[in-house]
Amino acid sequence: MGFGADFQGRDSHDALLQIQDTEIKLLENMRSCLQKRIDGDRKYLHNLTSFVQQAMRMEETEYHEYCSVFKAWQTVIRGTEQLVELLQFSVDGLTTKVMERLISLLSDKKSARKSYEDERNRLEKEFTRIKDEVQRNKLEYTKLVEKVRLERAKYEDVTAKGNRGKIDSAKQSYLQASVKLHRIHNKYILSLCELKSHQEHYKNKTLPYFLDHHQANQEILVQQCKGFLEEFQNLTKSTTKEHIDAYASIENAVFHINPETEYMGEFAKKYKTEPFQPITIEFDSKILNDYQGTLVANKLAVDDFTMEALTHQKSSLQDEIDSCKKQLQEMETEKSDYADRIQTLRQQTSLTDLEEAEFIQKRKKFEELKKRIAELESNMGTKSDLYRLISDPLTKLGDNSPSNALDIPDISPSDTLSMNSLDQAPERQNSRLNVLKNIKKINPFKRDKTGIENGQRDEGVLTNYEQQSPQPGFASRDSGFATGSPTVVKKLEDEEWFHGVLPREEVQRLLAHDGDFLVRESKNKRTNETQYVLSAYWQGYRHFIIQLQEGGWRFEGSSFPTIPELVNHQYRSGTAVTNKSGTILSNPILRESWELRNDDIALETKIGNGNFGEVFKGVYKRTSEVVAVKTCKDTLSEEQRKKFLMEGRILKQYDHPNIVMFIGIAAQRQPVMIIMEYVSGGALLSFLRKEGKKQSRLKAAQMCVDAACGMAYLSEKGCIHRDLAARNCLVGDQNVVKISDFGMSREEEEYTVSDGMKQIPIKWTAPEALNFGKYTTACDVWSYGILMWEIFSNGQTPYPGWTNAIARESVEQGYRMPAPAGTPDSLYQLMLKCWDANAQTRITFSDLHKKLKDLVARPPKAENWS
């Protein structure tokens, strides 16, 4: 019994999603409870009681009875109740070990859930696409059969009448229709074959292996749940009889968690569905009922109309099959290596923390490979079936000429030739387009980046090579690099592996495997001079300053006139960069598509100042698009430059109509720039102060809806903005509000400030963040309440006339600002919910958005919204 065999149906799919949602909620509840336990430093017994109470708030669902982790957790709660007045914990171990593992596990659980849903949707979408293709071919086939019948009748009619003026025209029309018919005939048969083969492989391999892979992932996560609870149990264990008795029950419950049977008991019995039911796939012979010609149902037409196309298709399929075989061989070897190591670790009686982490990681990769191999084998099987369908009649034909497609005696070879050449030009054009589509866009920001070094180019040095043109960037030692004359070079900044002023810390995020390398620009901290660095990974991170001497650029060996020629030689020769390091360059790390060239950005009008530099209106030359450009001063510290780039790194992940759109980052040289969409209305605060009095309360409320929609999206993505205010929102077309300025944002569920409170906007910040420096999305909700107040006060400063200190102290004592004049009471009540002193009971962005939408759609009759 397993997912692959028993959970192929839609009901099983829904049940798998729901039980994962239940488990995620369970883990979130466990995390909240554990935090309560850790916080028991000063009020230990009080917080321990709160721990139990929090756990009891977990709402039971029908799926909990199938979850052994939940049952074990209930035992933990019962044991904790017995130990309230006995236990004394050391929170250090819980903080550094248990909490980190649980947060990581929760993140993995959410990722696994999303991955399962996305992958299942992708597989079903592909199957539907192939089915739809068969139906489209069938409809077109039916139409063409009728057209051929009519054109043949016209041709026979004019031939019988001897009307020579119309015979050629009728014959040509008949020929054209017949060519199209023969081709759609083959296309229909091939699509039927593809669907039949795809369905068979989908049922027997792709879908079962995908589901088994998901089951394995879930079992791994359950194993990690078990490990977390074992760690919890070990850290909280004591030696008294009371402690031993209480913890014996917890230990027993945790011990009986069995990942391999977690989903195979009552859960499987209740939600098991029938395996995937194949659909009937047959050639619709009725299409040819009124057809007179050489086409035969369920048989490929191998004739003078189709011979060339079939030959090309056969060759193309053979290439694809060979490629699949090569990939399979590589993956099977990799899978075998993982299997051997997993077996070795399983045979050990006990594992260290590092070995346990290695075991989990290798099993994840092993299960991923099994799934990928199954899908690739299915894909290759379908291609093989198509290949045989085409190859068999071609082999049988041998060196003989193909038969005539039409039984008309007076068709000359030139007629057929002219018909076969009808689509030659489009085929050539499509081939050219495919080549263009495969040209790789480049960008150095391949992974997360949070900073950039303040390096400034030495123009005297750059003159040495920037006027030349190096070979194209490379992807392998034998192709795309180091071809042609070594004297034909281009500028260093045009090389795909040159990452501009990306700092050392961010470069190291990109280098993961031995042989990975790139070149970056840096600055000598002592002399402040520009220098160029080869960064590589070889048994650790390596950074080699490229030396400029009289003979040119070098490491240890020969000098070269330009840096591209030096790196070209080092890569092509396969020799070590330095004898001491032994570093070999084998895999250039290329720039990604969203990094833009500085030369492609034209700055025009200054439109404001940011935290790190000036903001301009500009033009992205390649698309002629008007953009907003944030620049970074080169006088800033390294830490400030990292924070500047973090905004771009965060923004590029989001795509929402109420979030300002990210376009790219230009970092090939100073100044570094973040490029975003240009929002014509400017800052919301300025708009409110100029136009606020002119708009109705309903329009003001719609602005609140827009902001809530954007913040609900960010909250769902795990982003804490930390600086939500009218000054950091923009107004677009039709007064749509967009969230902007992510300079203080963090991609964490909780963030603790460690660098003081200098930049904290006191009047917009939640009390818990001011007092403890801990930020959550609930803190953003507080700030959103202040934003609503700003919108309805037409841009007034919150707590008018008060200093930051007075406002902070008053809020701590329970004061809340009154509603701005004319604010509907239903909206003011939402502001008060945002300003709930208890962050845990504070309204969420999801609820805020829903309530605001409902109010805007149906304003209360008793309130004036005009």
- The sign one gets for the Cα dihedral 499, 503, 504, 508 is negative
Please, are residues 44 and 94 in contact by the beta-carbon 8 Å criterion?
Answer: no
d(CA 589, CA 557): 23
Element of type H or E holding 53:
helix 44-56
What's the one-letter identity of residue 357? A
Strands (E), 443-528: 516-523
DSSP structure class, residue 205 = I
CA angle 698/702/706 to nearest 5° reads 170
Residues 442/443/444/445 CA torsion (nearest 10 deg): -140
Find out whether the peptide bond into 671 is cis, omega within 30 degrees of 0: yes
The encoded tokens of residue 109 equal: 């659980």
Sign of CA pseudo-dihedral 485, 486, 487, 489: positive
Vertex 207 angle, CA 201 and 213, to 5°: 130
| Whole-number Å distance between alpha carbons of 236 and 251 | 11
Measured between alpha carbons, how far is residue 859 from residues 95, 238, 825, 854 in Å?
A: 48, 60, 11, 8
Going by the DSSP 8-state scheme, the letter that residue 439 receives in this structure is: S
Residues 46 and 37: their CA atoms lie apart, in Å, by: 10
Partners of 620 in beta bridges: 601, 625
Pairing of strands 737-739, 587-588: unpaired
Alpha-carbon span 672 to 451, nearest angstrom:
10
The answer to whether the beta carbons of residues 713 and 654 sit under 8 Å apart is yes
Pairing mode, if any, of strands 673-677 and 662-666? antiparallel
- Compute how many other C-beta atoms are within 10 angstroms of the C-beta atom of residue 430: 11
Alpha-carbon distance of 722 to 720, in angstroms, equals 6
- The owner of tokens 């799919």 is 13
- Within 8 A by CB and 6+ apart from 747, the residues are 650, 717, 718, 719, 720
| Residue whose C-alpha is closest to residue 202's, from 281, 103, 308, 306 | 281
- Nearest Cα residue to 89 out of 262, 781, 98, 462: 98
Looking up tokens 């248990």, which residue turns up?
A: 98
The DSSP secondary structure of 650-673, one letter per residue, reads: HHTT---TTBPPEEEEE-SSSSPE
| Runs of H (alpha helix) within 521-633 | 563-573
Return the number of other C-beta atoms located less than 10 Å from residue 93's C-beta.
Answer: 16
Contact 22, 67 (CB under 8 A): yes
d(CA 615, CA 683): 12
How far apart are alpha carbons 316 and 303 in whole angstroms? 19
User: Which residue out of 212, 706, 723, 741 is catalytically annotated?
Assistant: 723
Helix/strand/coil for 795: coil
Residues contacting 42, CB < 8 A, separation 6+: none
| Long-range contacts (CB closer than 8 Å, 24 or more residues apart) made by 357-362 | 360/220, 360/223, 360/224, 362/338
Tell me, yes or no, if 723 is annotated catalytic.
yes
Q: Which two tokens stand for residue 370?
A: 């099994």
Alpha-carbon dihedral sign for residues 312, 313, 318, 319 = positive
Residues with catalytic roles: 723
